[in-house]
Each structure stands twice: as structure tokens, then as C-alpha cells.
């Protein structure tokens, strides 16, 4: 897994991140989603490494990266804090400006990084996500029935009690679908109580303050300054819930918004790595 890549624990001002990086060319930062770790990119990163220096961290609170010690400190779990980690990580690796892609919960951290640090992000790819504020403002019975976990995971104490007695039963997955080493890393993460709490903190911050950060940006007229490409899973429910996904993103972007669906389920990096890598390469290579 990740042949030719380096694996390090990188100590940053606010967090210590487990990071895998390799390849050559312009820097490309890939942010994973819930409940995965950076190893979800194991089949995608090598395909991109011929054209880019690919950087794959475990987000703060996830995998083997550090976890905030105060579980109720939502700012420490916020996408704004994770955006600071992203910029600090790329500083550590010597990259002033970089390409950025984020999937699922990682898409919110990627979005926040591009909004808060516009001079650092050259292009942004969002995978299976819309801004948290947009999701909450458009919430209806259909959203609540399909994405109920947003509200459950944000509750105090109860999610841990439900998940921790049988994490593998809660987060059902298979080595066949994920790849054996990726699956082993995933299992190590979900079996660690502090990591489960760290992943839940991402949802709690979303409901507590991340949407307020989005609202403040919208009210101030702040938008993404870089090109934006949105990719969604055709066998997931983003189109079903939002219809025209690109129309949700257009008010948030200064430049044109492009995008399309990929014929796979939610975990696209594992289910359609070749198509995803090709799509990302085409977008980031365009001048």
C-alpha cells in the first residue's frame, strides 16, 4: 500500500498528524471522510503520484492523528481548526500553494481551507458534499431520514454508547471492498474509543459552530476564489436530496463551477479509484 510513499507523524502547532506523501510535481492534498483514515486513498494516490506530489493526512481527531483533549471544545474540532492544520502541514512540507480535494467530512475541511486561506489553494475539488450551512438550511424529512446520523452523532454521550460496544457492527465494511491493508487501518481506527470520539467531534462541531462560520462568510460576501470542481456518487443520495448539485455550490464560488457524477457508491476512492484519479488529474491539470 502506497509504494514509494513516506509515512510520518508530523508535529504541527495545534495537532500532530499522521501523513503519507509521495510522488513528484505540484502538491495535491487529499482529505478523507468519515469513518475512514488517509488509507482510503491507497488506490488513488499512486495513480496521481506520477503527476503530483500527493499528500494524504489523517485529519485531526481521525485515525492515528492527535485528538483534542477537551471533547466539548467544538472549536478544536471545527473545520476552521482543521483548515489551519492543512495549511501548517503544507508549510511543513515546503508548499506555499497547493491543489486540494476532500471527500465527505474531508470536503468540509477542504472548503473551509479554501475560504479561510484563499492564497494557498490553487484549485478545489469537492467529493460528495455541499456546504454544511446549505445542508442544514435545506433539511427536510427526506434529508433527516437519510442523513439522520448528522443529528445523532452530534448528541452528547449517546453515540459513543451505541458505537463502542460493537464498532465493526456499526461501521460495516469488508476487506474485499476496501482492500486488506486499508481495511486493517480502518478497523484499528474504529476500535479505538478516542478515535470514535474524535470522529464524533467532527459532527458535533458541524452542528455547533461550522455552520455559523459558513453563515458569517455568506453574510460578508466571501466566496471561493479558486476554480471549483464537484464530484458526486451516482449510487449515493446527493442528487436525490439536492437535485442540481452544482447549483448549490454556484453562490459560493467566484469562478465557474464544474462537476459531474461518478457511477459508484459513497466511498468513491475505494469503489472507483481509476475513474476518480482520472477526473481529478484532468481538473487539476487544466490551465
Q: Average of pLDDT values for 225-231?
A: 98
- pLDDT digit string (tens) for 112-170? 999 999 999 999 999 999 999 999 999 999 999 999 999 999 999 999 999 999 999 99
Q: Average of pLDDT values for 66-85?
A: 95
pLDDT(192) > 80: yes
Q: Quick one: pLDDT at residue 286?
A: 83
d(CA 121, CA 29): 10
Q: Quick one: pLDDT at residue 3?
A: 95
Chain-centre distance of CA 208, in angstroms? 18
21 pairs with which residues across the strands? 6, 55
Q: Quick one: pLDDT at residue 31?
A: 99
C-alpha angle 75/128/94, rounded to 5°? 60
Q: Quick one: pLDDT at residue 53?
A: 98
d(CA 245, CA 148): 20
pLDDT(287) > 80: no
Pick from 76, 159, 155, 79: nearest CA to 111: 79
Quick check: helix, strand or coil at residue 28? strand
- pLDDT digit string (tens) for 10-60? 999 999 999 999 999 999 999 999 999 999 999 999 999 999 999 999 999
d(CA 17, CA 40): 16
Report the mean per-residue pLDDT for the chain: 97
pLDDT(71) > 90: no
pLDDT over 90 percentage in the chain: 98
Q: Quick one: pLDDT at residue 72?
A: 85
121-127/228-233 β-pairing:
parallel
Residues 6+ apart with CB under 8 A from 16: 9, 10, 65, 66
Q: Which domains does the chain have, with CATH numbers?
A: 6-285 (3.40.50.1820)
Q: Are residues 223 and 252 in contact, defined by beta-carbon separation less than 8 angstroms?
A: yes
User: Listing from the earlier edge strand, what are the strands of the sheet with 27-31?
Assistant: 6-11, 16-23, 53-57, 27-31, 98-103, 121-127, 228-233, 257-262
- pLDDT digit string (tens) for 250-282? 999 999 899 999 999 999 999 999 999 999 999
Q: How confident is the model at residue 220 (pLDDT cuts 50, 70, 90)?
A: very high
d(CA 70, CA 219): 30
Residue 159 grid coordinates: 453515540
> Catalytic residue numbers?
104, 266
Name residue, grid cell 471545527: 78
Q: Average of pLDDT values for 85-92?
A: 98
Residue 117: other Cβ atoms inside 10 A? 16
Residue 87: other Cβ atoms inside 10 A? 19
Amino acid at each position: 500500500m502506497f509504494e514509494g510513499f513516506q509515512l510520518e507523524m508530523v508535529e504541527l502547532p495545534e495537532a500532530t498528524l499522521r501523513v503519507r506523501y509521495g510522488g513528484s510535481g505540484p502538491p495535491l492534498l487529499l482529505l478523507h471522510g468519515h469513518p475512514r483514515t488517509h488509507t482510503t486513498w491507497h488506490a488513488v494516490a499512486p495513480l496521481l503520484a506520477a503527476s503530483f506530489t500527493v499528500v494524504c493526512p489523517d485529519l485531526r481527531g481521525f485515525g492515528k492523528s492527535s485528538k483534542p483533549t477537551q471533547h466539548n471544545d467544538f472549536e478544536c474540532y471545527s473545520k476552521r481548526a482543521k483548515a489551519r492544520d492543512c495549511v501548517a502541514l503544507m508549510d511543513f512540507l515546503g508548499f506555499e500553494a497547493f491543489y486540494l480535494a476532500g471527500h465527505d467530512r474531508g470536503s468540509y475541511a477542504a472548503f473551509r481551507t479554501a475560504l479561510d486561506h484563499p492564497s494557498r489553494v490553487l484549485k478545489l475539488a469537492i467529493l460528495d458534499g455541499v456546504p454544511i450551512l446549505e445542508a442544514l438550511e435545506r433539511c427536510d424529512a427526506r434529508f433527516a431520514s437519510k442523513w439522520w446520523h448528522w443529528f445523532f452523532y452530534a448528541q452528547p454521550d449517546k453515540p459513543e454508547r451505541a458505537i463502542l460496544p460493537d464498532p465493526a457492527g456499526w461501521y460495516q465494511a469488508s476487506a474485499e471492498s476496501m482492500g486488506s491493508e486499508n481495511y486493517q487501518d480502518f478497523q484499528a481506527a474504529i476500535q479505538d474509543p478516542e478515535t470514535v470520539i474524535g470522529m464524533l467531534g467532527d459532527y458535533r462541531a458541524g452542528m455547533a459552530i461550522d455552520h455559523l462560520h459558513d453563515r458569517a462568510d455568506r453574510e460578508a460576501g466571501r466566496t471561493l476564489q479558486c476554480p471549483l470542481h464537484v464530484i458526486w456518487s451516482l449510487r449515493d443520495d446527493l442528487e436525490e436530496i439536492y437535485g442540481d448539485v452544482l447549483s448549490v455550490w454556484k453562490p459560493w464560488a467566484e469562478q465557474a463551477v464544474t462537476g459531474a457524477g461518478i457511477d459508484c457508491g459513497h466511498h468513491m476512492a475505494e469503489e472507483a479509484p481509476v475513474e476518480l484519479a482520472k477526473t481529478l488529474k484532468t481538473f487539476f491539470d487544466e490551465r
